[in-house]
A and B are shown apart, each in its own frame.
Chain A
Amino acid sequence: MVEGLIGKKIGMTQTFDDKGNVIPVTVIEAGPCTVIQMKTVEKDGYSAVQIGLVEEKKQRSNKPMAGHLKKAGINAAKIIREFYFDERSDVKEGSQFFADIFNEGDKVSVVGISKGKGFAGVVKRWGFHGGEKTHGSMFHRRPGSTGASAYPSHVFKGKKLPGHMGDDRVTARNLKVIQVEKDKNLLVISGAVPGASGGYVLIKKVDFNPVPEKTKKE
């Protein structure tokens, strides 16, 4: 069994729990994912599986990629990523995994590329409070002083300043799986996940020990 899947964020909606409370949820279409390559300790120095997201739409692979995918018996993979896997289970090239590797109540982490915000100021980017809007204030959303003059006479590295915000790899940790729709490969996960609808995300199991005892290097 692999410990994660590649999916596509479909969008958000809401559902109800047993007590009747409203829970915001994100719907993710997870899989089908095919194992493309097994990475082993002997050959690659670590143990993992390389899996690819197979979507119905056929897309062209170039010849090196087609050759790489041949062993798994697929023509094209939209996205290829590596995951850890349970080495006791039967996983080999060509095995397919669907959303049902997750169960209701599981904790998962979801990795996505956050929405790009462009060149953002310090109020939006770092949560600075900003200055007064009125009463003659001429200091509205400025960053303020970036450092003193004589000492240290330079701006410290890592100073929070305006710049490009978003479009980063972001992990949302410990989200709960609310529902699994096996026939349509849908995962319903509580809360928001990074990125726009239609974006690709990685869903990983949380309670997994990434380095099983036997693969640990001496």
Chain B
Amino acid sequence: MNLIDIVEKKDIKEDQTPFNIGDTVKVHVVIREGEKERIQLFQGDVIAKKGTGSSASFTVRKISFGTGVERVFPLHSKMIKKIDVVRHGKVRRAKLYYLRKLRGKAARLKEAK
């Protein structure tokens, strides 16, 4: 076993819900407000997954009040309590950056059967 993998092992979440590029997901993010903690949802399409091991991350894109918003989450972050897959999208590439140029109806993803 690679020595870096040994170090990364303790950070990697084994029970992570599997999801793919193009899926619509609900990310449960922990928000700290002073001492208090609460869960905030961020729902959108997964447009990219990057990296391996404990440094893996994914990008979620949603349209909020007409403006595109993208958030990059570390996949194994403690601040992510849960990831729900809402819908599987049918896509033909690994990075959906082309969605940034599309608006409205054109920016939809077909549901995978």
Residues of A within 8 A of B (CB): 10-11, 13-16, 19-20, 22, 25, 27, 29, 179, 181, 184, 186, 188
Q: Please report the C-alpha to C-alpha distance between residue A11 and residue B55 in the assembled complex, in whole angstroms.
A: 13
**Chain B, 34-61, contact with A by CB distance < 8 Å: what is the 0/1 string?**
0000000000000000000111000000
Once A16-B78, A20-B30, A20-B79 are accepted as A-B contacts, the answer to whether A11 and B11 lie under 8 Å apart by CB is no
**Chain B, 78-91, contact with A by CB distance < 8 Å: what is the 0/1 string?**
11000000000000
CB of B11, distance to nearest CB on chain A (Å)? 5
CB of B77, distance to nearest CB on chain A (Å)? 6
How many A-B residue pairs lie within 8 Å, measured between CB atoms?
44
Q: A15-B8, A27-B4, A179-B10 are in contact. List 11 more A-B contacts (CB 8 A).
A: A11-B4, A13-B7, A13-B54, A19-B32, A20-B30, A27-B3, A27-B7, A179-B7, A181-B7, A184-B6, A188-B7
Question: Which residues from B are CB-within-8-Å of A16?
Answer: 11, 54, 74, 76-78
The 7 closest A-B pairs by CB, nearest first: A20-B79, A20-B78, A14-B55, A10-B3, A27-B7, A15-B11, A13-B4
CB of A144, distance to nearest CB on chain B (Å)? 41
Q: CB distance B54 to A186 under 8 Å?
A: no
* 13 pairs, CB–CB < 8 Å, chain A vs chain B: A13-B8, A13-B54, A14-B54, A15-B11, A16-B77, A16-B78, A20-B30, A25-B7, A27-B3, A179-B10, A181-B6, A186-B3, A188-B7
Q: Please report the C-alpha to C-alpha distance between residue A163 and residue B32 in the assembled complex, in whole angstroms.
A: 50
Q: CB distance B78 to A10 under 8 Å?
A: no
Question: Which residues from A are CB-within-8-Å of B78?
Answer: 16, 20
Q: Please report the C-alpha to C-alpha distance between residue A186 and residue B32 in the assembled complex, in whole angstroms.
A: 33
Question: Which residues from B are CB-within-8-Å of A181?
Answer: 6-7
Residues of B within 8 A of A (CB): 3-4, 6-8, 10-11, 30, 32, 53-55, 74, 76-79
* CB contact between B54 and one of A11, A15, A20, A184 (< 8 Å): that residue: A15
Q: CB distance A186 to B7 under 8 Å?
A: yes
Question: Which residues from A are CB-within-8-Å of B8?
Answer: 13, 15
Q: CB distance A20 to B11 under 8 Å?
A: no
Determine which residue in B3, B74, B76 has the highest number of CB atoms from chain A within 10 A of its CB, and name it. Answer: B3
Q: CB distance A186 to B11 under 8 Å?
A: no
Question: Which residues from A are CB-within-8-Å of B6?
Answer: 181, 184, 186
Instruction: Give the residue name and chain of the A residue nearest to B76 (CB).
Output: A16
Question: Which residues from A are CB-within-8-Å of B55?
Answer: 13-14
Question: Which residues from B are CB-within-8-Å of A20?
Answer: 30, 77-79
CB of A56, distance to nearest CB on chain B (Å)? 13
Question: Which residues from B are CB-within-8-Å of A19?
Answer: 32
Q: Please report the C-alpha to C-alpha distance between residue A25 and residue B10 in the assembled complex, in whole angstroms.
A: 14
Q: CB distance B3 to A184 under 8 Å?
A: yes
